[in-house]
Amino acid sequence: MAYRQYMLVCGGTGCESGKSDEIYKRLIAEADAQGVKDAVQIVKTGCFGFCEKGPIVKVLPEESFYVEVKPDDAKEIIAEQAVKGREVKRLLYDKSTRKSNNKIDDIEFYQKQFRIVLRNCGVINPENIEEYIARDGYAALEKALFQMKGEDVIAELKTAGLRGRGGAGFPTWLKWDLTRKAPGDVKYIICNADEGDPGAYMDRSTIEGDPHSVLEAMALAGYAIGSNKGYVYIRAEYPLAIDRLKIAIAQAKEYGLLGDDILGSGFSFDVEIRLGAGAFVCGEETALMRSLEGNRGMPVPKPPFPAISGLWKKPTVINNVETLANIPVIITKGGAWFAKIGTEKSTGTKVFALTGKVNNSGLVEVPMGTTLREIIFDIGGGIRGGKKFKGVQTGGPSGGIIVEKDLDAPISYESLAALGSMMGSGGMIVMDEDDCVVDVSKFYMEFCVDESCGKCAPCRIGTNQMHDILDRITKGKGEEADLARLERIGKAMTKASLCMLGGSAANPTLSTIRHFREEYLAHIRDKKCLTGKCKDLVTYSIDPSKCIGCTLCAKKCPVPCIAGERKQAHVIDASRCVKCGECYAVCKFGAVVKN
Amino acid sequence: MAKMTLEQLRKLREEKKRDIERRETEGKEIRIIVGMGTCGIAAGARVAFDAILAAVERHGIGASVVLAQTGCMGLCHVEPTVEVLVPGMPDTIYGKVDAATATKIVDRHVVARALVNEHIYDRPAADIIRN
Ligand SMILES: Cc1cc2nc3c(=O)[nH]c(=O)nc-3n(C[C@H](O)[C@H](O)[C@H](O)COP(=O)(O)O)c2cc1C
């Protein structure tokens, strides 16, 4: 009764268009015809995220991975594999053709993702320390405490080439080394888990899924630089992550992996949780430390850098969650192992929160050097509803838009900066032809206006000015000189702001002006928003020659302001229309016209 | 658990690793693991969890099934996700598991030993710890 073999036919949207449904049916018919229908189960699956080579058929337990399968291949697959137990060699995925950024060849895989940070997420029970330990958890701490000196730990990070994942990409080893060498008996370790970038949730998921990886790394940092105290500064809006972190700290203390004299090594390290004050700027390291001290979270000029004078003016290492989660693996597997992944200057992987108009939104971890196209179109399964790709925002309110022509650039700190965006913390929002870049820029600027702490004038005044200009452009009241104004204010803010909140707030606007100047001009000159997102610039009307009077639009209209008899052309009362676009979306006859 | 020494930590790790291996070779135990990050819970993971529990009880197979939770697997677009490990069958990840699908997973996959159509997803990456 149990099947001996399973054939999984990838049924994602990409493969569907490539005839996966027909393959599925043909396989079933062939299994029946060749008398193996009780031995092999044929199932349709969700998207496997390998769309460029679809349709895909995976055979288990053999793990045969067939790509670009055609319906006519069904007969051979059944005859060979189900009946005779032999793979169909010509359809197998040839790993050697993969443009891989991993020089690690002892791992057999076809996936584009490579999980270091997320190694335990979705695998272990995050509330059970023993499951973490079973997967080499606390092996790095053990190794460091008993076989390495503090300098050795730092040297390993240097070999690894790990750079900060919180946005700036500063070499982690250097930060640790400076703090280690800074004079002072009391030093601190801070884990930055404030994650305020809209659309980003990498750090939340990491803490929720694998809290011990962060704690272990903090203890390693403490050992390396000579600190006995760490703080996790975490967003108060992350209750589940906070709970799991509390459980993890309690368990680690109970097992003697945090606290006094860890494993009898003589090294002591303690971690406490501090809840974020609920402002984006509190994620900025100097503001974070002020907030942690109990003061209002506002940035202070650097230098002095935290490595010299940080929390309570003591030398402090502050690292992002994702940066830290890499570190136990670097210590157990070695810096050289890590350095083989990614590009020369950007080693390892990066976690992205892929959202927006993609089919497969989710948390993805890819080797540095993977292209944006691979992330969006393979892992992400392409654009929802078959719409046209317009751009992808990386770096959130501090980053910029990356357009079609640049999608093949391999991801690294340098390449994204060269494209006028930035790596950022990992938010990746995909936009399609229905998104208006002026509207998006206004959204990010509004965020920065709200979040500016007000301490320095360039940011406090600049964000407001830019927002007002963007707002009037979306209302059809802009003038051509506004573009130059935006650029001028943006440049001033970039140069003169106290912290990178203001220093990067202009980026979304400046990068969209660069890539989509025509779209801005259409708003300004023609008073038109082609996507219809800027409500003041659109009007909806019904083309009487196309309307068949189905009444659907009138039923959907929330006002309602559409009148008309059944089977007669309908009319929209423009004076009452709220421009929600429902009528446009539901009309099957293209009779609703958007202007 | 009292504070451990180095030897005790190593012993615990070895024991736990052996437990996993034993589970895989002896193949007695069925494991059902529900993704319970914020995203999973928001999408209805608790409902799926409860439905699985109810179905397991209805079949009277509670003694051979371990129902556990884990963090986010990264497949946000198909939350809630459930991984099913049945000895002799391929390890399987199901997505978009509502109460009805959860029940189906127990009835068909766990009890009748056949995969459930339309809901299977691939593990996003190879495991770097065990490879
Ligand atoms: C406005 C602003 C917000 C920031 N928010 C965060 C954040 O939420 N999490 C984070 O890790 N880093 C954030 N940073 C970056 C930190 O200042 C700092 O560079 C980082 O914590 C250093 O860690 P890393 O070297 O491990 O990346 C922010 C920076 C700015 C300017």
Note whether A327 and A373 are same-domain residues.
no
Q: How far apart are CA A154 and CA A15, in angstroms?
A: 47
In a domain, A468, yes or no: yes
Phi, then psi, of A587 in degrees rounded to 5:
-65, 125
Cβ distance of A122 and B72 shorter than 8 Å:
yes
A559 inside 8 A of chain B by CB? no
Q: Is A319 helix (H, G, I), strand (E, B) or coil?
A: strand
Cβ–Cβ < 8 Å for A565, A469: no
Pick left, alpha or beta for residue A222 (phi over 0 → left; psi -120 to 50 → alpha; otherwise beta): alpha
Cβ distance of B125 and A139 shorter than 8 Å:
no
Is the C-alpha dihedral spanning A366, A369, A374, A376 positive or negative? positive
Q: What is the CATH number of the domain that holds A50?
A: 3.40.30.10
Q: What is the pLDDT of residues A205-216, one digit of tens each?
A: 999 999 999 999
Give the distance from residue A218's alpha carbon to the nearest chain B alpha carbon, in angstroms: 19
- Helical (H) or strand (E) element with A169: none
Q: What is the pLDDT of residues B62-74, one digit of tens each?
A: 999 999 999 998 8
pLDDT at residue number B29? 86
Note whether A588 and A574 are same-domain residues.
yes
pLDDT at residue number B88? 86
B120 inside 8 A of chain A by CB? yes
Inform me whether the pLDDT recorded for B25 exceeds 60: yes
Note whether A25 and A72 are same-domain residues.
yes
- Extract the tokens encoding A514: 């660069």
Note whether A102 and A158 are same-domain residues.
no
In a domain, A259, yes or no: yes
Partner residues linked to A364 by β-bridges: A352
Cβ distance of A208 and B4 shorter than 8 Å:
no
Domains of chain B: 27-126 (3.40.30.10)
Q: What is the CATH number of the domain that holds A573?
A: 3.30.70.20
In a domain, A64, yes or no: yes
Give the distance from residue B41's alpha carbon to the nearest chain A alpha carbon, in angstroms: 10
Number of CB pairs < 8 Å for A and B?
188
CA atoms within 13 A on the CB side of A555: 7
Note whether A418 and A465 are same-domain residues.
no
Note whether A329 and A428 are same-domain residues.
no
Q: How far apart are CA A374 and CA A154, in angstroms?
A: 33
Q: What is the CATH number of the domain that holds A490?
A: 1.20.1440.230
Note whether A284 and A137 are same-domain residues.
yes
In a domain, A310, yes or no: yes
Note whether A223 and A324 are same-domain residues.
yes
Question: What is the SS3 assignment for A531-562?
Answer: CCCCHHHCCEEECCCCCCCCCHHHHHCCCCCE
A255 inside 8 A of chain B by CB? yes
Note whether A175 and A323 are same-domain residues.
yes
Note whether A262 and A367 are same-domain residues.
no
Note whether A273 and A162 are same-domain residues.
yes
Residues of chain B with C-beta less than 8 angstroms from the C-beta of A46: 78, 95-96, 118-121
Q: What angle do CA B13, B19, B23 make, to 5 degrees?
A: 150
Atom 6 (ligand 1): residue with closest C-alpha? A283
B128 inside 8 A of chain A by CB? yes
Partner residues linked to A572 by β-bridges: A562
Beta strands in A306-397 (DSSP E): 316-320, 349-356, 362-367, 389-394
Q: How far apart are CA B93 and CA B81, in angstroms?
A: 7
Note whether A138 and A285 are same-domain residues.
yes
Q: How far apart are CA A155 and CA A93, in angstroms?
A: 39
Q: In one letter, which amino acid is B70? A: T
In a domain, A530, yes or no: no
Contact map slice: A 30-69 vs B, CB within 8 A: 41, 43-49, 58, 60-61
B68 inside 8 A of chain A by CB? yes
Beta strand pairing call for A40-45 and A64-66: unpaired
Minimal CA–CA distance to A513: which of A539, A543, A478? A478
| Ranges of chain A whose pLDDT falls below 70 | 1, 13-18, 95-110
Atom 22 (ligand 1): residue with closest C-alpha? A319
Domain boundary among A339, A361, A388: A339
Pocket, ligand 1, Cβ cutoff 6 A: A 164-168, 170, 192, 194-196, 280-281, 283-285, 318-320, 323, 425, 499-501
Domain boundary among A339, A357, A375: A339
In a domain, A304, yes or no: yes
pLDDT at residue number A94? 76
Residues of chain A with C-beta less than 8 angstroms from the C-beta of B96: 46
Predicted ipTM of the assembly: 0.92
Q: What is the CATH number of the domain that holds A267?
A: 3.40.50.11540
In a domain, A321, yes or no: yes
B89 inside 8 A of chain A by CB? yes
If you search the block for the tokens 């024991």, which residue do you land on?
Answer: B15
In a domain, A119, yes or no: no
Pocket test for ligand 1, best of A172, A189, A192 (most atoms within 8 A of CB): A192
Domain boundary among A292, A319, A339: A339
Question: Closest to B72 (Cβ–Cβ): which among A130, A134, A363?
Answer: A363
Closest CA in chain B for residue A255: B3
- What pTM was computed for the model? 0.92
pLDDT at residue number A106? 46
Residues of chain A with C-beta less than 8 angstroms from the C-beta of B77: 359-362
Q: How far apart are CA A532 and CA A582, in angstroms?
A: 12
Residues of chain B with C-beta less than 8 angstroms from the C-beta of A146: 6
A363 inside 8 A of chain B by CB? yes
Cβ distance of A1 and B10 shorter than 8 Å:
no
Arithmetic mean of pLDDT over chain B = 92
Contact map slice: A 210-239 vs B, CB within 8 A: 210, 238
Give how many domains chain A has, as a whole number: 5
A142 inside 8 A of chain B by CB? yes
Domain extent at residue A580: 539-594
Residues of chain B with C-beta less than 8 angstroms from the C-beta of A121: 37, 70-74
